[in-house]
């Protein structure tokens, strides 16, 4: 609910459990007065304190009042160059050459339904589901208007934000930074949690109390990156899964980002999140506008668990656009780890022959089916079927797979080009490269200049022809290197600062086109595993390959970190062969299945290299997953333990929205003799209901949560346990 008090210039956004408030003050500076647990209406500007502090400039309107300074008041969208020395939200190079912004509130607009952003991902909401508030700010001297967009989804405690900057002047203006989110807190006793890692080990939570000064994460790799995720949390020092005030902020953006928190001199904190200003400079001609990507905020007064569950629900309901719309996604088998580039049509058919009777429903043909591609040194850019491997093309192969009762999916990597390719020989200038420099290779490939429409059109034309040549129901869109040598032959020198962002817009545009032309195709995002796992991609691709690391034990950590923002239904997870390709660890098949099931679930191994006993186990896993699909994919997710705490086991739980069903999954660590007697306390159950556990008994929900369930001793290394609870 949005409540406006026009006399006081007060805007209050209420969600089910939270309240957010802003007020334009006596000088029409838009101050941020409150964000936290839901309160009744009231003007919270009394919390803003004014004091005469040294080295805090006073704007001219304040006259001789030395207590009013932009440097000390909490602001909704911070400015630069006119007296606030904390993190700016906007930096604008004006025609005179100055870099400054001074924004004052001029008005608002209220709309039913959620605003949309052209060319950018955004949460969607009908008039019944969401409201929009737009606040207008203006810099009279710079002749610039800034529009702050707020989307309010009450039920999910979700507040989205986006920013549009309009050049009202008669000369071009250059935007050097435009954040999506600025959030000032009147306290600094907070922890910052970021999610970091590398290829094969993505999104490990890192939590630390804020220190004085600026701290944060970002990416300058052209993608959101394996290294840092565009999702951060600020929370009470004492916050845990079930307790404490937490603020989660996700950026719906898949390119260079920055999330910085600054703890400043008077124990205030400012969080600024948006496109990374690194090498960013966007020219706005008179009348033109620039839109910064959307940021999504969820405040949870009751701990990290409820915060994550609200993100999951909101992302599933209002961000992801799923061609299966409430229907179950197919269980897939992917040939990558089983064959790498060494496959042909017959081998794939043999995979399907064995996998289909086990209940697997979709065969995904990974890298190597196109151009000249027998290893990763050539072929990218030539999206035509290699008829030596697949005689007769997909027209011949797909019906053979379908006859076996399976559907068919395909891998692509549209943004890349190999130097050894037809495309590169024809258009060497279509790769990103800096004049007079030889571009750096990554996985021996170059990056196509996706800021250019003609480049996208050529690649898309070929891919469209392939996807139209047969009945294809799934596409894995991969992206296997970071951007370097970023320079576009299509833009003049003074506009090269736009290339990084135009590249992302180009990717989004092609994804939109793909979804439009093939609405039935399920797209899985991927970037060398989880190098572009962000809320922006989830708008286009309902699921994302979580990591190239398929080891079940490492995955416990990777999937744990990922779960802080992203729903289970989005987490690409497969059972692969042992010893694992990434770390040579051997884990039981049951454990690999249990971990992959808390994700999209599928297999990435040669089914013809499994024993009869393993086949039976796979068949049982697939049947179990299908039976409990709704519970796992649409239920509420509870982290029961922290896999980084090195405890004896890692456990998590899915609970159905009506709390009548739950699935507890647990993976033990390495074996020990004389194991202590352990009890696992469950969460999220209905205390008044009684539950059967794995088909037995009638255990009260309150007892299972308060007293717990005795765990059997582990046998061998890394065994798994699944407890299925049903109310009786
Ligand atoms: C990336 C992906 C893998 C696989 C290979 C193919 O690494 O993450 O799953 O598709 O590319 O080259």
Bridge partners of 248, per DSSP, are: 233, 298
Whole-number Å distance between alpha carbons of 289 and 471:
41
pLDDT of residue 66: 96
Q: Of all residues in the chain, what percent are helix, strand and coil, respectively (each to 5)?
A: 25, 35, 45
pLDDT tens digits for 96-130? Answer: 899 999 999 999 999 999 999 999 999 999 999 99
Give dist(CA 432, CA 416) in Å, integer. 10
Q: Is the pLDDT of residue 646 over 90?
A: no
pLDDT in tens, 575-617: 999 999 999 999 999 999 999 999 999 999 999 999 999 999 9
- Tell me the best of 198, 416, 531, 548 to mutate to test the pocket of ligand 1, counting ligand atoms within 8 Å of each CB and taking the most: 548
411 lines ligand 1 (CB under 6 A): yes
How high is the pLDDT of residue 191? 98
Q: Facing residues of 295 across strands?
A: 161, 251
Q: In degrees to the nearest 10, what's the CA dihedral of 307, 309, 311, 317? A: -150
Given the residues 534, 554, 604, 653, the one annotated as active site: 534
Dihedral sign, Cα of residue 591, residue 597, residue 599, residue 603: positive
Cα 368 to ligand 1 centroid, rounded to whole Å: 10
- Which atom of ligand 1 is nearest the CA belonging to 529? 8
The pLDDT value recorded for residue 185 is 98
Pocket test for ligand 1, best of 340, 365, 366, 555 (most atoms within 8 A of CB): 366
Q: Is the CB of 497 under 6 A from ligand 1?
A: no
| Per-residue pLDDT reduced to its tens digit, 462-496 | 999 999 999 999 999 999 999 999 999 999 999 99
Query: Is the per-residue pLDDT at 326 higher than 90?
Result: no
Catalytic status, residue 262: no
> For the stretch 364-399, what's the b/e string if a residue is b when 16 or more beta carbons lie within 10 angstroms of its beta carbon?
bbbbbbbbebeebebbbbbbebbeebbeebbeebbe
What are the Cα distances from residue 603, in Å, to 332, 356, 369, 485, 546?
Answer: 6, 12, 19, 37, 14
Spatial CA neighbour of 556 closest among 486, 643, 619, 481: 643
Cα-flanking dihedrals φ and ψ of residue 223, to 5°? -120, 170
Compute the distance from residue 548 Cα to the ligand 1 centre, in Å. Answer: 7
Q: What percent of the chain has pLDDT over 70?
A: 100
Task: Determine the pLDDT at residue 675.
Answer: 85
Evaluate: CB of 545 within 6 angstroms of ligand 1. Answer: yes
Which residue's C-alpha comes closest to atom 1 of ligand 1? 528
pLDDT digit string (tens) for 130-183? 999 999 999 999 999 999 999 999 999 999 999 999 999 999 999 999 999 999
Is ligand 1 within 6 A of the CB of residue 480?
yes
Mean pLDDT across the stretch 451-456? Answer: 98
- The predicted-structure confidence for 26-70, as pLDDT tens digits, reads as follows 999 999 999 999 999 899 999 999 999 999 999 999 999 999 999
pLDDT of residue 210: 98
Q: Does 614 qualify as catalytic in the annotation?
A: yes
The number of helices, as runs of H, and strands, as runs of E, in the chain is: 13, 38
Strand order in the sheet with 144-153: 104-112, 131-139, 144-153, 158-167, 289-300, 246-251, 231-236, 190-198, 201-209
Q: What span, in angstroms and rounded, lies between the C-alpha atoms of 128 and 114? A: 10
Looking at every residue in the chain, the average pLDDT score rounds to 97
pLDDT at 95: 87
546: pLDDT strictly greater than 90: yes
Asked if residue 661 has its Cβ within 6 Å of ligand 1, the reply is: no
pLDDT in tens, 362-372: 999 999 999 99
Binned at pLDDT 50, 70 and 90, residue 724 comes out as very high
If one residue of 378, 475, 482, 529 were mutated to test the ligand 1 pocket, choosing by the most ligand atoms within 8 A of its CB, it would be 529
Report the predicted TM-score, pTM, of the whole model to 2 decimal places.
0.98
Is there an atom of ligand 1 within 6 Å of 548 CB? yes
CA of 203 to the centre of ligand 1 (A): 18
Q: What's the pLDDT score for residue 536?
A: 98
The yes-or-no verdict on residue 21 having pLDDT over 90 is: yes
Q: Tell how far the Cα of 478 is from the centroid of ligand 1, in angstroms.
A: 7
Tens of pLDDT, residues 224-242: 999 999 999 999 999 999 9
Catalytic residue among 614, 642, 686, 717: 614
The per-residue pLDDT for range 229-285, each reduced to its tens digit, is 999 999 999 999 999 999 999 999 999 999 999 999 999 999 999 999 999 999 999
| Predicted pLDDT at 189 | 98
Summarised one tens digit per residue, pLDDT across range 664-721 is 999 999 998 988 899 999 999 999 999 999 999 999 999 999 999 999 999 999 999 9
Q: Point out the ligand 1 atom lying closest to the alpha carbon of residue 526.
A: 8
126 CA → ligand 1 middle, Å: 37
Check if 530 has its Cβ closer than 6 Å to any atom of ligand 1.
Answer: no
pLDDT of residue 63: 96
């Amino acid at each position: 609910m949005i409540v406006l008090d026009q006399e006081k210039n007060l805007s209050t956004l209420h969600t089910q459990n939270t309240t957010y408030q802003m007020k334009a003050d006596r000088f029409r500076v838009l101050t941020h007065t409150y964000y936290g647990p839901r309160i009744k209406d009231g003007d919270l500007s009394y919390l803003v304190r004014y004091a005469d502090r040294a080295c805090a400039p006073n704007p001219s309107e304040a006259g001789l009042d030395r207590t009013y300074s932009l440097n000390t008041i909490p602001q909704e969208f911070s400015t630069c160059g006119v007296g606030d020395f904390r993190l700016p939200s906007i930096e604008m190079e004006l025609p005179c050459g100055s870099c400054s912004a001074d924004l004052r509130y001029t008005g608002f607009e209220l709309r039913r339904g959620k605003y949309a952003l052209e060319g950018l991902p955004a949460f969607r909401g009908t008039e019944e589901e969401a409201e929009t508030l737009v606040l207008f700010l203006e810099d009279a001297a710079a002749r610039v208007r800034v529009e702050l967009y707020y989307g309010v989804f009450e039920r999910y405690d979700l507040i989205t934000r986006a920013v549009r900057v309009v050049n009202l002047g008669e000369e071009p203006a250059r935007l050097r930074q435009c954040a999506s989110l600025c959030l000032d807190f009147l306290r600094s006793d907070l922890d910052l949690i970021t999610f970091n890692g590398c290829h094969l080990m993505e999104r490990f939570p890192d939590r630390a109390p804020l220190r004085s000064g600026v701290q944060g994460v970002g990416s300058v790799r052209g993608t959101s990156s394996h290294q840092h995720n565009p999702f951060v949390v600020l929370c009470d020092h004492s916050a845990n899964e079930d307790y404490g005030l937490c603020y989660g902020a996700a950026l719906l953006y898949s390119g260079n980002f920055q999330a910085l928190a600054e703890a400043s001199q008077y124990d205030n904190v400012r969080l600024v999140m948006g496109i990374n200003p690194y090498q960013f400079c966007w020219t706005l001609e008179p009348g033109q506008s620039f839109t910064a990507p959307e940021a999504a905020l969820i405040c949870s007064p009751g701990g990290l668990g409820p915060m994550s569950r609200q993100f999951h629900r909101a992302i599933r309901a209002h961000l992801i656009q799923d061609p299966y719309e409430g229907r179950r996604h197919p269980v897939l088998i992917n040939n990558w780890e089983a064959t790498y580039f060494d496959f042909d049509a017959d081998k794939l058919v043999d995979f399907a022959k064995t996998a289909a009777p086990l209940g697997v429903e979709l065969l995904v043909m990974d890298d190597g089916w196109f151009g000249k591609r027998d290893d990763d040194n050539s072929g990218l850019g030539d999206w035509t079927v290699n008829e030596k491997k697949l005689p007769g093309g997909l027209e011949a192969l797909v019906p053979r797979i379908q006859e076996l009762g399976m559907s068919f999916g395909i891998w692509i990597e549209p943004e890349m080009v190999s130097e050894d390719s037809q495309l590169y020989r024809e258009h060497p200038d279509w790769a990103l490269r800096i004049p007079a420099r030889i571009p750096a290779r990554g996985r021996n490939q170059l990056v196509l200049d996706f800021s250019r429409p003609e480049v996208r059109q050529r690649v898309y034309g070929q891919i469209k022809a392939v996807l139209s040549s047969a009945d294809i129901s799934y596409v894995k869109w991969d992206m296997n290197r970071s951007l370097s040598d970023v320079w576009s032959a299509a833009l003049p020198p003074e506009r090269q600062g736009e290339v990084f962002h135009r590249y992302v817009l180009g990717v989004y545009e092609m994804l939109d086109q793909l979804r439009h032309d093939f609405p039935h195709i399920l797209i899985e995002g991927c970037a060398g595993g989880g190098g572009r796992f962000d809320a922006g991609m989830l708008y286009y691709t309902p699921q994302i390959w979580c990591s190239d690391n398929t080891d079940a034990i490492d995955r416990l950590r990777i999937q744990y970190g990922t779960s802080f923002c992203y729903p289970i239904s989005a987490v690409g997870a497969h059972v692969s062969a042992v010893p694992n390709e990434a770390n040579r660890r051997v884990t039981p098949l049951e454990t690999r299945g249990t971990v992959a099931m808390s994700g999209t679930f599928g297999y990435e191994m040669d089914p013809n290299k499994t024993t009869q006993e393993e086949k039976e186990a796979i068949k049982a896993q697939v049947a179990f997953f299908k039976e409990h699909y709704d519970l796992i994919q649409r239920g509420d997710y509870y982290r029961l333990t922290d896999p980084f705490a090195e405890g004896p086991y890692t456990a998590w739980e899915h609970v159905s929205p009506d709390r009548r069903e739950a699935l507890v999954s647990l993976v033990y660590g390495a074996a020990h003799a004389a194991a202590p007697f352990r009890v696992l306390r469950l969460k999220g159950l209905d205390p008044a209901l009684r539950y059967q556990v794995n088909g037995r008994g009638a255990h009260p929900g309150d007892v299972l949560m308060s007293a717990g369930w005795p765990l059997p001793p582990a046998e061998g290394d890394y065994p798994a346990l699944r407890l299925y609870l049903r109310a009786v």
